[in-house]
Amino acid sequence: MKKLFAVTLFLSFFAHAFSQTRLTIRTANEADFLLFINDEQVNTKGVISLTVDNILTPKTTLKAVFPAQPDKTFSQQLTLKKNTSVFYDIEEVKGVYKFVLKSESTIVINTTKNDVVSVPSNIEMDSASIESIQIPAAENDLCPTPIKEGTLLSFVNELMAVHFEAQKLSKMKNFITNNCITVEQLEILLLHLSMEDNKLELLQHSVLILHDPSNLEGVENNFVLARNKQRAKEIVANWKK
């Protein structure tokens, strides 16, 4: 059976705080591809699924190159909206490959970072000065220090070898139980689930043990169906009580 590969990338193509777009590209026929965005190569190893954050909007030119089928290489200009998460499948339409839009939803990619206060070791300070320094308290004592992005990327690559979504969900829940993650990292994992019921289950499992639960506002934008958006809001509301 063909081994599945995917990579989630955090690239900034001249992005700024008010122009954040998350783009996910998948192949319908499991043909490995390389992606170029505005002539910049994104991945050097062929994949069948790829997610990129912070895309320059609104007009973006994508090119897909198939190492095993170089004659199938094609380019297409997309108009991407600000602060959206979009999913495109590479499909063959009338003998020509195209990026076909499958879903689009509003999303707020969290960028808030806790300020870190450090005291240089070569400066002597009296007790009064030390007491005046206030180090921000962790929002959640159960998750004081989130994992680094490299750890998450390694786990996402492992997920690509899992063919059944129920098994993928189980691995995600175990990973979150044993690792401290942020809301933004949870949203990345949600992108790798297809069924919204499974996304809701992962959100329910994670909501009490996230590093930055205050950033849960807007998490419902990771869902498409109105009833699931409402259920996501209820899960967050119940956490706040």
> How far apart, in whole angstroms, are the C-alpha atoms of residue 145 and residue 200?
24
For residue 144, whether the previous peptide bond is cis, meaning omega lies within 30 degrees of 0, is: no
pLDDT digits (tens, 9 = 90+) for 122-139: 334 343 433 333 434 568
Element (DSSP H or E) covering residue 188: helix 183-190
Q: How confident is the model at residue 20 (pLDDT cuts 50, 70, 90)?
A: low
pTM for this model (two decimals): 0.49
Q: Say which DSSP state 33 is in.
A: B
> Tokens representing 60?
């973006």
Domain residue spans of the chain:
6-106, 149-240
Location of structure tokens 């967050």: 236
Using DSSP bridges, classify how beta strands 34-37 and 40-41 pair: parallel, antiparallel or unpaired.
antiparallel
For the domain made up of 6-106, give the CATH fold: Immunoglobulin-like (2.60.40)
Q: Compare 58 and 64 and report the one with higher pLDDT.
A: 64
The answer to whether 139 and 213 have CB atoms below 8 angstroms apart is yes
Burial class of residue 153, CB neighbours in 10 A (0-12, 13-18, 19+): middle
Across the chain, mean pLDDT equals: 77
Buried/exposed 41-55: b ≥16 CB within 10 Å, e otherwise: ebbeebbbbbbbbbb
Q: Is the predicted pLDDT of residue 147 greater than 60, yes or no? A: yes
Element (DSSP H or E) covering residue 203: helix 196-206
pLDDT digits (tens, 9 = 90+) for 163-219: 888 999 999 999 999 999 999 999 999 988 888 899 999 999 999 999 999 899 889
pLDDT attached to residue 30: 65
